[in-house]
Chain A
Amino acid sequence: MNQDLVYFFSDLVQYLINGLAQGSIYALIALGYTMVYGIIKLINFAHGEFYMIGAFVGYYCLMSGMPLLLAFPVAMIGAGLVAIVVEKIVYKPIRHAGRIPALITALGTSLFFQYLGQGLIGADPKAFPEAIKSVTYTFGEVMITSTQIIIMAMTFILMLLLYWLVNHTRTGKAMRATSFNKNAAELMGINTDKIISITFFIGSSLAGAAGVLVGMYYNTVEPMMGLIPGLKAFIAAVLGGIGIIPGAVIGGLVLGVAENLVVGFWVSTYRDAIAFGILILILLIKPAGILGKNRREKV
């Protein structure tokens, strides 16, 4: 009996660790979603594709023999630059057309990158080069790999950077002003177009970082890899309260842990359905999310 309890708790801790590693990745992607939504009220469906692009830039950099410490920022910048180009060509002209046309455009962009990737690179998964030798540390029944530690540490560092950037720099102040009221910000002399581009760049480079981390974690990358994590990160953003930066982190971690707990203790075949179930529950119970405040609709 006592032994069973020990097994149960070591299982629990194991799932929590796996969930936190997975959740960190969701959180990194969700940050970009929530920042873009906060600033132009657009659900950027193509965000998962920036994550895929980041993973592939990282893959090709590492394959060419670049050290990880250099490949990582290159992948982030690569994903960010693609996002800026997309924003300038596609999202900027549609910005004033309303939310549904913008959503459809984002869907189109997402499909475009997925199938462009399939056409250029091929649909088969590619083996991600082992940049850092994976070591497994064992504590009793609980295992943690060095990759998991790197993922959590990198996520933490990037979040601190983002926190500093948003709250303690002039650009961050301009970003907050633009998301609070775009017209007023413009009247105050803030170049909102530039701020929107910067927001896209930062959000997508975080997704690109998540892409490289996932490549290291699962050792494969493929053109379709962005679809499901992109949707789940969106769910994480809604769960935490879309538009609220700390909410994205909380949502991502909660989603990752919940998923791993349910898969570990209950059923594994419904892994992808859990996230959607959580989404629908949160939309019905508290649509504003964990950290959000309810706002009444005005005419």
Chain B
Amino acid sequence: MSTTTVAHHDEHTDHPTGIMRWLTTTNHKDIGTMYLTFSLIMFLVGGSMILGIRAELFQPGLQLMNPDFFNQLIGVHALIMIFAALMPAATGFANWMIPLQIGAPDMALPRLNNWGFWLLPPSAILLTLPFTLALFGIGDGALATGWTFYPPLSIQGGIGVDFAIFAVHLLGISSVLGSINIIVTLFNMRAPGMTFMKMPMFAWGWLITAFLLIATIPVLAGAVTMLLTDRHFGTHFFDAAGGGDPIMFQHLFWFFGHPEVYILLLPVWGFIPQILQTFSRKPMYGYKAQVYSLIAIGAMSIIVWAHHFFTAGMPVPALLYFMYSTMAISLPLAVLFFCWIKTMWRGSMSFETPMLFTVGWIILFGIGGLTGLVLADVAADAQYHNSYFVVAHFHYTLFAGGIMGIMAGVYYWLPKMTGHMYNEKLGQLHFWLTAISFNLTFIPQFFLGLAGMPRRIPDYALQFAEFNMISSIAAFVLGLSQLIFVYNIISTVRGGKKATDQVWEGAEGLEWTLSSPPPYHSFSEQPTVK
């Protein structure tokens, strides 16, 4: 006779447990969690480095470190914040949310996904190991070239440059694997009925990001490899003494480096409108306009790179081209800003922590964008280049525009991921401390730059002392206030008020139809999008 046995299992027996779960997992939520955890740890590591720098800059003169170590901290801080904090955070959200948002059971290439993550810890070790080796008398510390690796300094640098080159290779492989995975997932695994123009904005942001990574990572990989061969194998790609061209490296690096800014920001521009519509309790304004703007920004981002080195010397037509094309990016960005504000317009708004971060983000990122327009002006850039004005500008873009956006996303999705509500009072305290101390850190730097203080120098003239002191004190408040963020996340993971499935009253999308936290495997029934 025929028999059927249906066993019942507890949720905890449904997947491997312990360390093996994390080492071997191919589950998109596990991998997303690992990316986000790694990102948070590296954010604290990179942040600690910059506090060392701000302590040194608290007053003129050399107090705490020699100039070479100062430069090492600056270079590694930037590489860690860009590659090991901001990018993995966005990738963590992608892993967690893209399958949920498009109704897929997992990412298209789960094993590749696992490899993509596990390349990150070795690269973080490669970036920071030279510091430790130097303590034992091996080598002369990490790379001291800034994150841009410019030759001839990088050709003459110590083994820290080699470590950083290999770290960049690993990070690049990880990014390419992740991008291919996201592209195949978004193209081939959308739920029935989910056409491209019904895809959530976050998925759109990531799709364009993935294409940008695929287009630009080989150029970066080629550039740093050529640097490596110049250093050790007798080539002269960038060595002027051997007939090479150091400016060529700048072209190669910034062909990747400028799109990298958008690689960091596009995923944030993807979920910001979703947060705005949730807490404005009205539909997103201008979905199509936003999608087309994201595509336009992505496409334009790979044709404007040379504005990062106007002062290196270029023919006037090239200067004009890169100036006008850079300024033209502000047009689709203006469309985005208009749509974000219009989404809030006459909405039934409430200001929970994700919304606070989002509104703060719009204002501060707006300042970052507008100061970028100033730098895009060839004539003005001659004065501002390599000054603290640039430092302040890109921190408004990447800290406010990137990290504060990520924080908005964390508060928005944390209840969905963990099944618990975070502490709202602590969240709001975190926001206000962050927003105020961030401005107090970087507004003085705009003025320092305008007054002529150069970046990447550990000492400065007495006239800059007061503003540097304000900036340093505020930077420490900014750094310490992030401990509230860490505490809030850990306490939310451990417990707290139970989150509902929808979590937020105005939340819409497939991810909010699942339980909080979602089951280990995402959709038990294929959702259909109408």
Q: Do A and B come from one complex?
A: no
